[in-house]
Amino acid sequence: MTDKAFYRTNESFYRTDKAFDRTNESFDRTDRAFDRTNELFDRTDKAFDKTNELFDRTNEAFDRTHKKSVRTDKAFVRTDYKLSGGNN
């Protein structure tokens, strides 16, 4: 093999090695991006869980308020009936 051919072959190996390095760097960046994406999905899931918990607690509070409102309405009806001269 001549010196020129050896030089060209060596340059080709060098460029190939650099291309592999760039490819590996790209894979590493992609892996980190997937890791960040998975972290965001996990945080989003936790946020949805907290939101659902808050909705559940709000619904329970509305139910309690409604029950109290119904009892209050019944008390007003009884009071009004008694005040209007009715018997209970």
Kindly report, residue by residue over 44-77, the tens digit of the pLDDT: 999 999 999 999 999 999 999 999 999 999 999 9
Report the number of secondary-structure helices (H) and strands (E) in the chain: 1, 0
Contact 51, 45 (CB under 8 A): no
Where do the structural domains in the chain lie, given as residue ranges? 31-77
Kindly report, residue by residue over 13-44, the tens digit of the pLDDT: 999 999 999 999 999 999 999 999 999 999 99
Contact 52, 45 (CB under 8 A): no
d(CA 70, CA 64): 10
0.85 cut: is pTM over it? no
- Band of the pLDDT at 87, cuts 50, 70, 90? low
